[in-house]
Structure formats: C-alpha cells, structure tokens
A and B are shown apart, each in its own frame.
Chain A
Amino acid sequence: MTMPKRVSTGSPACVGTELAAAGVQGPGSAVWPVANRAYFVPFRNHRPRLTSAIWWWNGSVLTNNGDAGFYDVDGNRLFSTGSTARSGASARQAVSASLTLGKGLFYLALACVGTTGSFQRYSPPNIGVQRATGCLLADTAFVLPSSVTFAAMDASLYIPVIGVDFA
C-alpha cells in the first residue's frame, strides 16, 4: 500500500484532523512569537521510513535564522539542520535530512532565533484548542538542543507549518 511521501502539520499524521475539526483556517504568515523558542508538532509514523528532507514554510519576512529537527517522545533530538539562513519569501524551504524514523510518535521541531522574521503558521482560536492538539514548546531552545524539556503551549496561538519528505 502506498503512503504519503510528504507529511506536515496539516496532515492527519500530525494535527491536521484536529485543526480541521475545530474549524481552524489555513495557515498565514506571522512573525515568530518569542526569540529562541522552539515549537514541537506531534507526528505519527505508521512504519519505519527513511526521510529525505525536513522543511518549513517561510512567511513574507526572511530575517532570523531557523533550525528544524526531529525529536523523540522523551525530548531527545534525533536530527536537526542547525542554524540555517532563510531563503525564499513565502516559500517552502527544505534541508536534506537522511534519517530512518521507526514506527511510533515523534515531534517535528522548528526554532527561530528572533522575532522579526515570519513563518507560515496555523492560528488556533484559543489556547485550549492549541494545547489539545498535543503540540508543545520550549524556550531558550535555539539552536535546537540535544535534549529538551517540553512545556505547554502558551497564548501565542502559533503552530508552524513544518514537514518531512520521505525517500
């Protein structure tokens, strides 16, 4: 059976079902809420698969570097791009990422060093719905650390568009 080659925040394997069921509109461009913050979007992998790239979707303003990665459920970093200059306004920006993810639950992570640059993000209607999706955050997390202590989502109402491509 075939499976999607690309999975991102809006996919059923992430939080797309919950966002759609809650009537959340499609993503829009907004500045990163807090400098050095990382957001973590849960991602469910149905079987071991080899990734080829991790990516985020830039907003209209490209200032501030980004760092994207994969984490396990215990907060251990499995891969990260490292600090990466952003390019391509309002475009998807991919970085090669060759990693075999096993079956189970993981987190797609995205961090940004400042608050002037913008990214495409979903904006849930309130903090409660945002927390109910299972997304998490960590502050003082740029570059993405080797291990992280997850914290609950706050009132930023910001779930970035992060994705993975499979080989």
Chain B
Amino acid sequence: MPDYSRAPTLYLPHGPTITTLSQESMAGRLLQAGTFGTGTGWPVANKALFFPIDILEPFLIAKAFTVFGATPTGNFDWGWYDAAGNRLASTGSIAVTATTDLQAAALAYNVLPSQDAAYLAAACDSASTLLYRTNSFSAIEMAAVGVREMASAFPLPSTATFADMTHAYLPVIGISKRSTI
C-alpha cells in the first residue's frame, strides 16, 4: 500500500462526510461548479446510479444520505459496491420523508483502502422523487469520469451490471462516519 503520509499536498485525511461534492468523488473529477436545484426527479424509476469514491484510509461508514427536494415520495436504497459490481452493503428500501433536507439511513461498512475501487450506489423506485441535483454536467462528462448506472436495479442487486451513465444528473449523495449529520 502506498505511504500517503509522504504525499502531504495530495493527501488529506477524510472528513466526517464524503459526498458526490467532495474531492474524493466528483469534485476531484469535474473541475467546475454546478448550478443546483431541486426540481427534477430521479432519472428513471428503479434505476441505480453508482458514483466513484476514492478511499485512501479506512473509513467506517455509519450512515449514507441524500439531499432531497420538496414533496417527498417513493423509496430509496443506498449501497456500497466494489469495482466488480459486488454489493458489499446496502440499506434496503427506505421511504423518502425529507423535504428539501438531508435524509440518512444506517449503512454500516468499513471501507479499506486496499479495495481496488469503490462505488457509492443509490437507487430509487420513483421518477417523481425530487432530489437536490445539478444538470450542469453532461451525461458524457459523467460517464467519462466513471459514473455508472443500471436499469431495473431497485432494490440494489447483489451483483450490479455497470453501464455508462446516460443522464445529466448529479445529486448530493454521501456517506458519514458520524451518526449525527
């Protein structure tokens, strides 16, 4: 394993949360700020999205979360996958109740940096579920930096078949070391 303590300008310890807005995920891949809003539903009912997360030190996940928009509806499932598409942990179906706020669910998993690559997964069974998201990035941009998707994947399957992202849709989804977020 590389000795990251010798690369101080490139490596910072993880914060209490890692989200799709973090350097460890999309902010380290798409060098521009998005314009966010809450008015768009999940791209397709029962579709799962997989966001790459770089883990450089052990990260004990306590919860996964999403920032939702107004009018909560539908069910959500958060999960953690390896590079081969194996589900390592998931919350199972959780009713969406948050209104323009963050909703979290327990997702206990200890991510080790020896894992080759990792994906934070989210699936939703309703296209009417509104998320706080940006469409500032094209589907091409998102697929080109490793965002994946899978149709008919609610609840999150034990094995995912990854396909390139086909939506200009970046929600705020994350994991937390703390139970209090």
Contact = CB atoms under 8 A, between A and B. Distances in A.
Interface of A: 1-3, 12-13, 15, 17-18, 20-23, 42, 44-47, 73, 103-105, 125-129, 131-134, 136, 150-152
Given A1-B8, A133-B17, A134-B17, A152 B176 contact: no
Contacts of A73: 16
Interface string B71-101: 0000000000000000000000000001011
Contact of B101 (A104, A126, A150, A151): A126
Given A13-B12, A132-B17, A134-B17, A47 B36 contact: no
A21 B35 CA distance: 9
Interface residues on B, range: 35 or more
Interface string B142-180: 000000000000000000000000000000101010101
Contacts of B134: 23
B8 to A, nearest CB: 4
B81 to A, nearest CB: 21
Contact of B180 (A105, A126, A150): A150
A104 B36 CA distance: 31
Nearest to A19: B21
A8 to B, nearest CB: 14
A133 B18 CA distance: 8
Interface in B1-33: 5, 7-9, 11-17, 19, 21-23, 26-27, 33
B36 A23 contact: yes
Given A3-B9, A132-B174, A134-B181, A18 B19 contact: yes
Contact of B5 (A15, A103, A129): A103
Given A23-B33, A126-B101, A104 B38 contact: no
B67 A128 contact: yes
B180 A17 contact: no
A21 B21 contact: yes
Given A22-B33, A105-B13, A105-B14, A17 B98 contact: no
Nearest to A136: B180
Contacts of A2: 9
A40 B133 CA distance: 25
B65 interface: yes
19 contacts: A3-B9, A15-B15, A17-B22, A20-B27, A21-B34, A45-B13, A47-B5, A105-B15, A105-B16, A126-B38, A126-B100, A127-B101, A128-B68, A128-B102, A129-B172, A132-B17, A132-B67, A136-B180, A152-B180
B93 to A, nearest CB: 21
